Amino acid sequence: MKFASAGTAEGDRMVQREGQGPAGALTNFQAADVPAPPKAEAVLARGLSALEGPFPATSLNWFKQAVAVDPQLKKGHYLLGCAYQLNAQWDAAIVEFKKHLALLREGPDADPTWNRAQKHIQECTYGKEFSAHAGHSFITSAGKVNTAAEEFGPLPISGGALLFTRACAVGSPDSGRVHDAVFMSRWSAEGWTLAGPMTAEADNVGTACMNAVGMRPMIWREGAEGGGLMELGTTSNGRKRPVDVPADFANDPTAGRPYFTTDGQWFYFSSARPGGLGGSDLYRCRWNASKGGWSSAEDLGAPVNSEYDEDGAFLTADGSTLYFASEGHSSMGGYDLFSSTCTNGSWTLPKNLGWPVNSPGDDRDLVLAPDAGSGYFSSDRAGGGGRSDIYRVDLSPGVHADATAMLASAGPGVPTTDDEQHLRLVGFIKGLRMMEP
């Protein structure tokens, strides 16, 4: 999509690349002179560059200006609705999406990008409900782990260390090229330390999975010598141990986010292969001891999978509860985190983990401690360091706040109905050991 205006060539090229470009492009683009009187398309382009940049919620003012200049701007109301949604201003977002639908009735748009307003309205409806009845979970940033770059895929391991993936610039900071690298931070009395790269490999390397008792943390490696899933820890010759994975996973270019169950009998992964319910589905393979190999992959099917994307399976140690990310079901925007329980061999209807665990942005990569009461996940919610950050979640804090308590916010729009001078702060005293109160 292209919204051109004089003097904004560099930023306009970044818009065509969906926000991925030289580090200074967004600044140059938004700093370029706006025509006086301003052209709606020029202002809209600046908003789009912010929407696709590291702080998408900041696009709101640009889109408001664009629609103020031209109320009939066809894509303006849709984008303004997205910005309101990212700021958890649910009612305002619904108004804008309805205006977009009215304009579409006058002139339909063949691009499917602009035909999802009804889904956004449903997401905002869920968002209103979840934020009005916030749960008792507590969300805190992982602090120094997070930077202006993208951090995701947290794996807390023994010894008070946290592994995660960071998208690192390749070459000069303005090259616009990135690759994934594994970083490690350690827990200290002051919180997580500044993270350092775990390896010096130039290949794409990322955290992959860990089972529910904190064993077998693994990384995914790509490189000239071949790639694959590898277990952390080294063999006698100093190389990482390769992991035997199902052929259905290894030979599927769309497969990702692998997960081994604690007993080693099941291997879960996501895939966008043909034949699913829609987008990326969750699949699993079972270990066949008599044949010494993995079974063919089976789609988890409904109700876990939806017509939209699912990703990032994680099971509790007893295998009874599945946690995963989905853009479908009752998502309030982007990926939300859900749980489903296996009852009599069937999965229950997925339950949204609610506000403030989920936000209007992408919330995914949940990994829990053995007691399933706390853990870490990644989110690009408003208020972070830029793009995706790592957060800690306490799902069962043991101290239950009443309805007037101030809960950790999933975004800047968390409703407060009480006088701010009479709010009660609920917190914890933490020991030096990770995840322990």
Whole-angstrom distance, CA of residue 210 vs CA of residue 298? 21
Average pLDDT over residues 68-80: 92
Structural tokens at position 124: 């905002």
The arithmetic mean of pLDDT across residues 122-135, rounded, is: 94
The chain-wide mean pLDDT, for the chain, equals 80
389: Cα separation from own chain's centroid:
9
Q: Which of 152-166, 328-342, 386-400, 409-423 has the lowest mean pLDDT?
A: 409-423
Residue 175 — pLDDT band, cuts 50, 70, 90?
low
pLDDT-derived band at 127 (thresholds 50, 70, 90) equals: very high
Q: Helix, strand or coil for residue 429?
A: coil
For residue 385, name the pLDDT band (cuts at 50, 70, 90).
confident
pLDDT band at 47 (very low <50, low <70, confident <90, very high): very high
- Bridge partners of residue 241, in order along the sequence: 231
**More confident of the two residues 259 and 17:** 259
Q: What is the mean pLDDT of residues 13-23?
A: 40
Residue 245 has pLDDT above 80, yes or no: yes
Percent of the chain with pLDDT over 90: 44
Q: Is a pLDDT exceeding 60 seen at residue 199?
A: yes
213 vs 394, residue with greater confidence:
394
Q: Does residue 236 carry a pLDDT above 70?
A: no
Percentage of the chain modeled with pLDDT above 70? 75
Pairing relationship of beta strands 363-368 and 351-352 according to DSSP bridges: unpaired
Residue 414: C-alpha distances to residues 31, 88, 89, 219, 406 (Å): 31, 7, 9, 36, 10
| E strand or H helix that includes residue 240 | strand 240-242
User: 323: buried, middle or exposed (CB in 10 Å: 19+, 13-18, 0-12)?
Assistant: buried
Res. 222 pLDDT band, cuts 50 70 90: confident
Confidence of residue 238 (pLDDT cuts 50, 70, 90): low
Is the pLDDT reported for residue 412 higher than 90?
Answer: no
Comparison of pLDDT for 123 and 149, the residue scoring more: 123
- Say whether pLDDT at 258 is over 80: yes
Does position 201 have pLDDT exceeding 90, yes or no?
no
Which residues, including other chains, have CB under 8 Å from residue 295's CB and lie 6 or more apart?
246, 285, 286, 287, 288
Q: What is the mean pLDDT of residues 133-138?
A: 87
In this prediction, residue 278 has a pLDDT band, given cuts at 50, 70 and 90, of confident
- pTM of the predicted structure, to 2 decimals: 0.82
Three-state secondary-structure class, residue 10:
helix
